[in-house]
Amino acid sequence: MEYARRLDTRSMQRGVRCLTREDHDLAAVVRRHGPPPLWTRPPGLGTLIRIILEQQVSLASARAVYRRLEQTLGEITPGTVGHCGTAGLRHLGVTRQKAAYCIDLANRVSAGELNLRRIARAPAEVARAELMRVKGIGPWTADIYLLMVLRRPDIWPTGDLALLTALQHLRRLPRRPTSEQAAAQARRWVPWRAVAARILWHGYLAGSLATNRPSE
């Protein structure tokens, strides 16, 4: 397969063409719903905090909390997050655990312990390891940052429940695969696993790869 260092509209189209030539099930999703959106997010502390808020909750719930943060803090910076403090974040609807994660993350960015510009230039595995050194950033959070913000083309988000459900329906499996089983199946999509993930999300959100049509 062809390879791209960073996904943009053109390389995304190339990835979709490569995958749909090789995988008839993915091709069926694209025929039914069209190619998926690129789904990008801006780099920086604010996006990392938003992804932390999205851990194990619905996107709608996380979006509502993040909007309250934006309305209260204005710009999301290490200074504004630190000034708000754990109690302030809790008042805005952030859970106690996630508030602690956000404060620790802001402190690390402020101290230079986490350099997001350096991470953006680093190889995927190095960037992933650097992110996961921060309390509260596990494999899924790091993978989503690499996939949506840094637009790395070959990232498979570990443990994403929507992808696991979509993969179950794509392959007509009797039960939802484990994260390890899904990762093993996703290896056939190298070096376009991030594009395959977008196709699966696209089918899931459209309802054809979900048990029930999601509200998102």
Determine contact, residues 19/195, Cβ cutoff 8 Å. Answer: yes
85, 114: one domain: yes
Q: How confident is the model at residue 1 (pLDDT cuts 50, 70, 90)?
A: very low
Supply the mean pLDDT for the chain.
93
Does 3 fall in a domain?
no
Range of the domain at 200: 9-39+155-206
Confidence (pTM) = 0.92
**CA-based nearest residue to 153, from 198, 181, 180, 193:** 193
User: HSE-up of 16 (CA within 13 Å, CB side)?
Assistant: 22
What is the number of structural domains in the chain?
2
- 103 & 193 share domain: no
Residues 153-184 pLDDT 10s: 999 999 999 999 999 999 999 999 999 999 99
DSSP letters for 137-169: --HHHHHHIIIIIS--TT---TT-HHHHHHHHH
In degrees rounded to 5, what are phi and psi of residue 131? -65, -40
Which spans in the chain are helix H?
Answer: 9-22, 24-33, 45-53, 59-73, 78-91, 96-111, 116-121, 124-132, 139-144, 161-170, 179-186, 193-206
Mean pLDDT of 95-122: 96
Domain's final residue, options 149, 165, 182 = 149
Q: What is the CATH number of the domain that holds 166?
A: 1.10.1670.40
Type of residue found at 98: K
| DSSP single-letter state for residue 176 | P
| Token pair of 66 as six digits | 């993040």
Q: Is 169 within a domain?
A: yes
Alpha carbon separation from 59 to 5, 55, 63, 76, 178 (Å, rounded):
28, 9, 6, 19, 22
Q: Report yes or no on 216 lying in a domain.
A: no
Q: What's the pLDDT band for 191 if we cut at 50, 70, 90?
A: very high
Q: Tell me: do 75 and 115 sit in the same domain.
A: yes
Whether 213 maps to a domain, the answer reads no
Claim to verify: residue 127 and residue 69 sit in the same structural domain: yes
Among 109, 130, 149, give the residue marking a domain's end.
149
54 conformational bin, left if phi > 0, alpha if psi -120 to 50, beta if neither: alpha
In the predicted structure, residue 132 carries a pLDDT above the cut 80: yes
- Looking at the domain assignment, is residue 100 inside a domain? yes
Radius of gyration of the chain (CA): 18
CA dist list (Å): 139 to 4, 96, 213: 23, 21, 27
Same structural domain, 134 and 75: yes
